[in-house]
Amino acid sequence: MTDLNEYECEMLDTLLAAFGVPDSLTRIQLMELFDGDEAVAFAMVQALAREELVAEKGKPGHYELPEQLILKPKGEKFLKQGGFTKRHQAEQQQPTQVGGTLAKLQQQNMRLQNEKLAHQSQLSDLQKTINALQTRQYILFVLIIIALIAGYWLAKTF
């Protein structure tokens, strides 16, 4: 459940509340609820199905909305108890587990250190490229000056 933010929890609760008297929603009704955004609708339906709060009927494919979504009694009871929003708020108030958080922070620290090293390496490579280009620029500048002096000298002799 921790993978959902507060907004997503509210959206799921709204979707659960949208079930009418026959306790079902059609694909068309789902698309209307999500303003035609099938990706978001699909993600929300999958979240409800993962929690076993709804049943899908007439599903045409793996990544498409079902023809009909049926609210299970468990879903109705869950919504009456406060739904996803209440569960999210309860999770936010629970103290975080130090061990799990420490491990996550250590992993994140290692990932960030690796990224830092990669960026430093890239920065070093870019600095070498800049130095090489500056050297070329100085060489070209010297060659232009030599060419101007030679041109001047040749023009004076002839």
The residue assigned the tokens 């030599």 is: 146
Helical segments of 4-97, H only: 6-17, 27-33, 38-50, 73-80, 83-93
Over residues 99-136, the pLDDT tens digits come to: 567 778 888 888 899 999 989 999 999 999 999 999 99
Q: Is the pTM of this model over 0.75?
A: no
CATH number of 6-94: 1.10.10.10
Over residues 133-149, the pLDDT tens digits come to: 999 999 999 999 999 99
Domain boundaries, the chain: 6-94
* Nearest residue to 66 via CA among 28, 103, 94: 28
Tokens of 22: 């026959």
* Nearest residue to 42 via CA among 133, 140, 117, 54: 54
Residue 35, phi then psi, degrees to nearest 5: 50, 40
